[in-house]
Structure 1
Amino acid sequence: MAGRPKQALNIVDRPLSKNKLELSTVSVSAFAFLTSEIIQYTMDNASNTTDLDERLDRIGYEVGVRNMELLSFREKVPRRKPEVLDALRFIHSTAWPHMFGKTADDLQQAAAADDEYMISDHDLPTNRYVSVPKSYGSFNPGGLVAGIIRGMLGTAGFPARVSAHFVESRDRPKPTTTFLIKLDTLVMQREALVKQQR
């Protein structure tokens, strides 16, 4: 028995990192290459920038669904958070470090509407190594991450529309990427019922 090798752990059972303080990482060059190839592939198959955004969103959505399932299992938290803010905090503080090695820079509710939230990142890795031609107008490579957020929220039971936008700032040389999250009306109705029952 001493000579028999230990059975390898299933990939889902393996820990995310060796200890809780250490994040597992991927080389920056590999990440930049993969992101650039995804964007190039979608650019080659898209007829216009709207089609390009939709294609990136679909790819990101599939990644978000699987990411939420994996993180929920590994972090031992239920996928279905009871409130919208709980799900958004999970994405901001748990999923973002898992994907990008740090928390998102900001999470806030829009002042004008109760059903809109924003997650901001000053240096989004998907945008760091991609240069967008001027002919593409307001195209944001962060559309891939917008799809990931939409997939994670949808898996958690909070369907939403998510879009990526550049926001200029005087004190920053590069624009911040802000994800505008507009929740489905059914989510807001459910939230109102939960608040009434308290």
Structure 2
Amino acid sequence: MIGVGKAKQYGNVLDKPLSRGRQEVSLSAFAFLFSELVQYNQTQVDNIAELERRLEDAGYAVGARVLELLCHRDKGNRRETRLLGILSFIHSTVWKVLFGKVADSLEKGTEHEDEYMISEKELLVNRFISVPKDMGAFNCGAFVAGIVRGVLDGAGFPAVVSAHFVPIEGQQRPRTTILIKFAEEVIKLLLQILKEFFVFVARKPRKSQYCP
């Protein structure tokens, strides 16, 4: 049985905010563990699409926990409720926690209203993985796509997220683009919010330019 003094001690520990501590992880250790994850899953599947799906599922679990950690530690359990807000949160805060820097770019798709893209010239998970020629289309960025999907789902913004290689003129290695395609209900909600906002602005009385 825990005494009163011990109970108070444990209570005080639980009341303390989560420590930021050291945020760096050995790059070589991460590369080894991620390589083992890829190799293990490769033995469990018959094709590239299934391998990428398994990596995405693994990343999804990471993303869900990253969101919980950051919301509890930095936001007092408050979660982003705006579409652009959650995208900026992933592009900056989540990327810094995972990769030590903000993502290279965050862009809106030009062809579809429901698509956004986060791009990285040299995504960490693709840096140290040697892909055999017979798996040329394989993209380890599927793991990061899963992380992004986990964060979005946890925040209430369901989406289909996928990783793609995009060639860059003059460079040997392509960049990795995380393509985010939001569910239809998310876009409908965004449009409804914008409509209500513009109606509110239109109805708001304007001050006269002249003194009474």
Fold equivalence (TM over 0.5): yes
1:41-74, Cα deviation, whole Å (9 max, x unpaired):
1111111111111111111111100111101111
**Residue pairs, 1:95-174, within 5 angstroms:** 95-174=94-173
Decide whether the 8 Å contact of 2:119 with 2:175 is kept in 1. yes
Q: What is the DSSP-based 3-state SS (H/G/I as helix, E as strand, rest coil) of the residue aligned with 2:43?
A: helix
Give me the TM-score of the superposition, normalised by structure 1: 0.89
1:148-181, Cα deviation, whole Å (9 max, x unpaired):
0000000011000111011111243321110110
Give distance in 1, aligned partners of 2:120 and 2:177: 6
The gaps in structure 2 that reach 5 residues or longer are 198-212
Code of the residue aligned with 1:175 in structure 2: it is: P
Runs of 4+ in 1 over 3 A off after TM superposition: 5-10, 77-80
Matched with 1:179 is 178
Code of the residue aligned with 1:152 in structure 2: it is: V
Matched with 1:20 is none
Matched with 2:17 is 13
Between Structure 1 and Structure 2, the one with more helix by share is 2
Identity %: 44
Decide whether the 8 Å contact of 1:92 with 1:119 is kept in 2. yes
Matched with 1:193 is 192
Give distance in 1, aligned partners of 2:54 and 2:78: 26
Give distance in 2, aligned partners of 1:58 and 1:118: 20
- Structure 1 residue 8, shift from structure 2 partner: 8.9
**Residue pairs, 1:14-93, within 5 angstroms:** 14-17=18-21, 24-76=23-75, 80-93=79-92
Give distance in 1, aligned partners of 2:88 and 2:20: 20
The gaps in structure 1 that reach 5 residues or longer are 18-22
Give distance in 2, aligned partners of 1:16 and 1:44: 37
Q: CA RMSD in A?
A: 2.1
Give me the TM-score of the superposition, normalised by structure 2: 0.83
Give distance in 1, aligned partners of 2:110 and 2:181: 13
Distance 1:13 1:33, change over 3 A: farther
Give distance in 1, aligned partners of 2:183 and 2:63: 18
Between the two proteins, the alignment pairs up a number of residues equal to 189
Give distance in 2, aligned partners of 1:62 and 1:180: 19
Decide whether the 8 Å contact of 1:110 with 1:116 is kept in 2. yes
